[in-house]
Structure 1
C-alpha cells in the first residue's frame, strides 16, 4: 500500500489533470449529447480515481490512531456514492487533491529564500597542488589546509584565509550587503561570496557543510521546520477537532435523518486552512529574515521575540565595534618597551577584546609565557622568564599585589575619561603600568536603539564588565535606560534571571564567550555574527552583518510574522463558521462549500507569501530625520 501511496503522491499533478478531463467530458456529455448515463459514468470514474489516494492516506492515519482530514473527506465521498451523487464525489475529490497541489506550489514559493541560498552554494573548487598544478575537486572532499585558486567572476568555494593576491569580493550572500570588500593576504573569505575582480590563493579553513554559508543554509532549513507554540497548539487542536466534526456529522444525520447533510458537514468541517496557515507564515518569515542576514533558529524564537519588553546589551563588540585600541600607556615602574613586550606576550593567550588591543602593540622581543591562568571577567596571570606577572582590572591587581593611592587616582582619572583600563604589574612591583583602551560606538547604535523603543521595547539596559566611568560615558551617548558596570559573566546572567523572575521578557545581545551564561539565561539570546562560535551556538537569533539595525528589523519581522499567523487563523476559523451557517440556512451545498474551503486555503497561503517581500518600514535616514524633528520641537 505504501508503494501505491508514493505513486499517487509523485503523480498528483497528472492525477488532477485526469480528473479535470473526466469532469469536463462528463459535463460535455450532459449538455451536448444530453446523455445522463455517460455523465454519471464519467463522474463516477473521476470520483473513484480521486478517492483512491485520499482513502489510502486515511487508512494510514487510522493505523496510527489518528483521525485526519483525509478520513473526513473519504467518508463524505463514500457517502456521496451511496446516495448516488457521483458528481458531488468527483468534484469534492478534485477540489481536495487540487488544493493539495496548490499548497505544494505555493509553499515551494515561500521556501524560495532558502532555495536561492542553496543554489548559491559552490560545488567544486580549483585545488592547487604542492607542485603548482591545479585540478577541479568536489568541495565536500576538501580538508582544512588545502590551497584553492579563485579567479575573477568565480564563487569562493571554501571558508579560508588569503595566502597570495588581492581581490574585490561581493559578500552579499553572507552579510546581505552587496558592497565590494577588498581582500588581501591574511584576510578571511567565505564560501558563497563572489570574487568580482582579482585572483587569490586561499588556504581552506572549512569546506562544504562546515562553512559559514553551509551553516546558514542548515540553520534556516532547520528553523523553517520548527514550530511555534501557536503551531503546536493548532496541531493538537486539529487532532481533537477532526473527530469532533465526525461526531457532529453523525448527530446531525441522526437528528435530521438527512444523510446528505451529515456528509456535507464532514466535508465542510475540514480544518485545512487552519492547519496550513501557521507553518506557511513561519516558512515565509524565516526565509525573509535569512535573506536580510537575520537568522532565526526556529519559529518559536519569533514567538518569544515579539513579546520581549527588555533588551540587555553587552558593551564591547555589541554596542561598540569590538575593535578597541590602546590610546595611552602610563609606565609607573620599569622599562617601557620591556613592559610592552611582556604584556603583549601574556595577552596573546587571551581572546578578550581588551587583550587583543594590547597584542596589536609593537614589540621588540618574542617572549613565551608559562603557567598561564585566567580569571573570568577580571584578567590573567602568567610567568615570563621565571617572573610572575598580572594583567587585569584594579580588583585583580589589588588582590595580588600591594598598590598605593597613586595607582587608584590614575585609574580613576582614565575611567572618568571613558577609557577601559588594564593594569600590568609584576609580583614584586618592579614593573607597573596602565594601558588605557578605548572602543568606538557602532555607527548605527543610537538609531537602532531608538528604533527598538519605537517598536515597543520598554527598557534598554547595558551590562558590562568595564569600569563605571567608561560605562557611564557610553550610556550618555546612547538612549539607554540603565547600565550596570564591573559585572562578571555570572553577574550578567543573574541580572537577567532576576528580571525574568519579576515578570519581564528579556532578550540579551552579546558576542563573546563570556556572554554565553547571559545568553543562556535570556528568553531570547541574540549573537552578533562577528562574535565567537560559542556565542552563536548558544544564540536563538544571529545577526550576520553584526549591525544592530538588524535587531530592530528582526523585532519588526517577528511582530509581522506573528500578526500574519493570527490573520491566517482568523481567516480559517471564520471560513468554517460561515460555511456551517450557509449550510444550515440552505445557501451552501457540498461542492460549493468545498470550493470555498479550498479557496480559503489558497487565501491563507497567499497571505503568508506577503511576508516573503515584506520589508521593515523604518528607514535609517527617515528615522533620523523624524527623531531630529521631534527633538527640535521639544
Structure 2
C-alpha cells in the first residue's frame, strides 16, 4: 500500500500539481493574496513523501556507504526548512528532486517485450515416430533419442541429427545466414530453425533446456541480469556531500547563533542541479538522436557509447542488405550468350520455391526477359531442379547434383566456381541436354555507406570487427570490401557472445551491431548493443540499447560524437552547479541569503543546467 501511494505521488500528474502549488506559494503573497494554508504544503506532501520514502529505503536496503544518498541530504534540508517555517524552500528542494527522478526514469525505462518474443519462438510440439506410427506430442515430452519427422514448413522442435531425408533449413534464427542451408543424413539441425523443403526424420540429441534455442533465450536473460542501471552522479558524491553539508551548517549555526543561516546552508547545499545534470543532458541528446532516426533507450547506453573503442558488426542485414541478388551470369558455351542462359535458367526455376531460384527469376523479370512455361519440373531438396524448357532438358543446381545426374563439370567451370566461392557468392550451375553450359552467381549486397563508415571509425581510433555465422570465405570477402581486418566466421550465437566476452576480457569496450534474433545475446553482452531497427527483428531491437530506425549504419560515427559531447556537457553542468553551490553556501554563511532567496538561487543553478543541456538538442555533429 505504501509503495502504491509513493508511486502515485511520484508520477508526472501529481508532480505537475506540486509545481503549480509551489508557484502559488511564491506568487500569491506578493500580490496581496494570503491563504489560510500555504500551498507549498501540498508540494511538500506530494514531492516530499516519495523523497522521504527513497531516503529511508536506501538507508535500510543499500549496502555500506551507499546508504548515504542525495535523497537523504535533500530530506534533511526539507525538514529543516519546515522547522523554521519556510515552506517554499522545503517544497522547492523536494520538487526539484522529483523532476530529476522523472527525467531519469524517462531515459532509463527499458521494455521487456523482446525476451517474451524470443520465448514465443520456442516450438510447442513435435511429430514423434514410435512403432511406425506418427503422433503429435508437446515439445517438453520429447526425450533424447526420440525419432521425429519434420515436414516442409515446420519448425524443428529440438536439436537433432538427420537420419533420413534431404532438405534445406532456414537457420537464420541461429546463425543469421541469409541462405537456407542444405542438409542430408548425418547433418545436425537446431531447435527453432525452419525446414523449408523436403521431409526429414531426425533423432533428438538435445532436448528441453539443453536445446540451442533455449540456450539462446537463457543467454539473453543472463545478459539482461548483468546490466546494472547507471548510478546517479549525485549519489556517487553524496557519501561526502551529506557530512560536509551537515558540518558546514552546524558550524554556521553555532558561530552565528542563527538557526536560519544553518537551514539556508542545507537548502543551498542540496545537489538538485547535480541531480538534473545527467538526465537533462541525456534527454536532450536522446531528442537530438531521435531527429536523426536513432532511438537511444537509456542514458547508460549513451554514456558508454562514448567510451567504446571496438565495434563488432554482424554481416547479413547489417553491413549488407540481407537480400540475395544475381551478381554474375557466366556462360561456358560459345554459342550461348548470357541473356539466353539467364532466360533458360529463370524459365526452369519459375516453379521453384528455393530462395536462389526465386532470386534468379526476379532478376530475369527485372531485365524484362519473357519467360517460357516449363514442363516436367522436379525439385530435389537441397540439390537442385530439373525441367524442360523449349524442348531442352535443363538442370539447375550444385556441383554434386550435376554429377549425380551424369553431367561432368569441366576444369574451367570448377575454377570459376572456386573463384566465386572466394568472393562469398552462392552459385547455381546450369546444364542443357547433359552439358554444363554456365553458372549464375548470387550475392548479398553490401551497403553503399559501409566502407566510408568503417573509414570514419578507423579515423576516430575505433577498432572494427566482423562476427558472422557465414562461412570464412564469405566473411573474408565482405570484410575486405569494407576494410575490416579482424574477422570471426562460422559463429553460432554463443560463439558471438564468447568472442565479445574475450574482447572485453582484454580491456576493450565493445559495441555490437546486429539485426537478427541470433544477435540478441551478443547485443546484450556487449557494453552497448545497436540494432538495425527498420529491417531487424523485433527481438534484436528490444535486446539492443540503441536502434537505427532507418538502417543507416553511417550514423555510428555520429553516435560516438554525440555521446562524447553529452558526457562533456554533463561534466560542464556538474562543474557549474558545484561553483554555484559554493557561492551560495558562502553567501548563506555571511547571512546574505535566507532559505527563500537561497532556494531561488539554488533554482537558478538548476535552470542553468537545463539550458546548457538544451544546447545539445540542436548541435550539429555531422
TM-score by length of 2: 0.58
Task: Say which SS state the counterpart of residue 311 (structure 1) adopts.
Answer: strand
CA distance, structure 2, for counterparts of residue 524 and residue 366 of structure 1: 54
Task: Say which SS state the counterpart of residue 325 (structure 1) adopts.
Answer: strand
Displacement, 1:272?
0.9
CA distance, structure 2, for counterparts of residue 365 and residue 446 of structure 1: 42
Q: Does 1:447 align with 2:447?
A: no
Displacement, 1:230?
4.6
CA distance, structure 1, for counterparts of residue 538 and residue 260 of structure 2: 62
Q: Which runs of 5+ in 2 are unaligned?
A: 58-70, 108-226, 334-340, 365-370, 388-394
CA distance, structure 2, for counterparts of residue 336 and residue 325 of structure 1: 13
Residue in 1 aligned with 2:76? 72
Residue in 1 aligned with 2:304? 304
Residue in 2 aligned with 1:360? 362
CA distance, structure 1, for counterparts of residue 559 and residue 517 of structure 2: 23
Task: Say which SS state the counterpart of residue 482 (structure 2) adopts.
Answer: coil
Q: How does 1:125-144 map to 2 (within 5 A)?
A: none
Q: How does 1:24-423 map to 2 (within 5 A)?
A: 25=32, 48-51=38-41, 53-54=43-44, 57-59=47-49, 61-62=51-52, 65=56, 68=72, 71-81=75-85, 89=86, 92=89, 230-235=230-235, 238=238, 245-246=245-246, 249-250=249-250, 253=253, 257-328=257-328, 348=354, 357-358=359-360, 360=362, 364=373, 406=411, 409-416=415-422, 418=423, 420-422=425-427
CA contact (8 A) 1:306 1:559 kept: yes
CA contact (8 A) 1:419 1:469 kept: yes
Q: How does 1:439-478 map to 2 (within 5 A)?
A: 439-457=444-462, 459-464=463-468, 471=475, 474-478=478-482
Residues 577-631 of structure 1: per-residue CA shift (max 9 Å, x gap): 3333444466655444333211110011111111222231x3xxxxxxxxxxxxx
CA distance, structure 2, for counterparts of residue 77 and residue 520 of structure 1: 46
Task: Say which SS state the counterpart of residue 572 (structure 2) adopts.
Answer: helix
CA contact (8 A) 1:58 1:70 kept: no
Residue in 2 aligned with 1:525? 529
Q: Does 1:480 align with 2:484?
A: yes
CA contact (8 A) 2:386 2:396 kept: no
CA distance, structure 1, for counterparts of residue 400 and residue 458 of structure 2: 36
CA distance, structure 2, for counterparts of residue 303 and residue 355 of structure 1: 47
CA contact (8 A) 1:419 1:438 kept: yes
Q: Which runs of 5+ in 1 are unaligned?
A: 27-41, 82-88, 112-226, 373-379, 619-634
Give the counterpart of 2:601 among 593, 596, 603: 596
Change (3 A) 1:344 1:7: closer
Displacement, 1:493?
4.2
Displacement, 1:460?
1.9
Q: Does 1:564 align with 2:569?
A: yes
Displacement, 1:512?
3.6
CA distance, structure 1, for counterparts of residue 96 and residue 307 of structure 2: 34
CA contact (8 A) 1:277 1:604 kept: yes
Residues 277-301 of structure 1: per-residue CA shift (max 9 Å, x gap): 2112222221221221111232222
Residue in 2 aligned with 1:20? 27
Residue in 2 aligned with 1:553? 558
CA distance, structure 1, for counterparts of residue 502 and residue 492 of structure 2: 15
Task: Say which SS state the counterpart of residue 360 (structure 1) adopts.
Answer: helix
Change (3 A) 1:60 1:324: closer
Displacement, 1:412?
1.9
Number of corresponding residues = 453
Change (3 A) 1:54 1:552: same
Give the counterpart of 2:619 among 611, 614, 619: 614
Displacement, 1:517?
5.2
Task: Say which SS state the counterpart of residue 324 (structure 1) adopts.
Answer: strand
Change (3 A) 1:271 1:456: same
Higher RCO (CA 8 Å, separation ≥ 6 residues): 2
CA distance, structure 1, for counterparts of residue 588 and residue 239 of structure 2: 24
Give the counterpart of 1:506 among 506, 510, 513: 510
CA distance, structure 2, for counterparts of residue 431 and residue 448 of structure 1: 42
CA distance, structure 1, for counterparts of residue 508 and residue 402 of structure 2: 37
CA contact (8 A) 1:489 1:518 kept: yes
TM-score by length of 1: 0.57
CA distance, structure 1, for counterparts of residue 587 and residue 501 of structure 2: 52
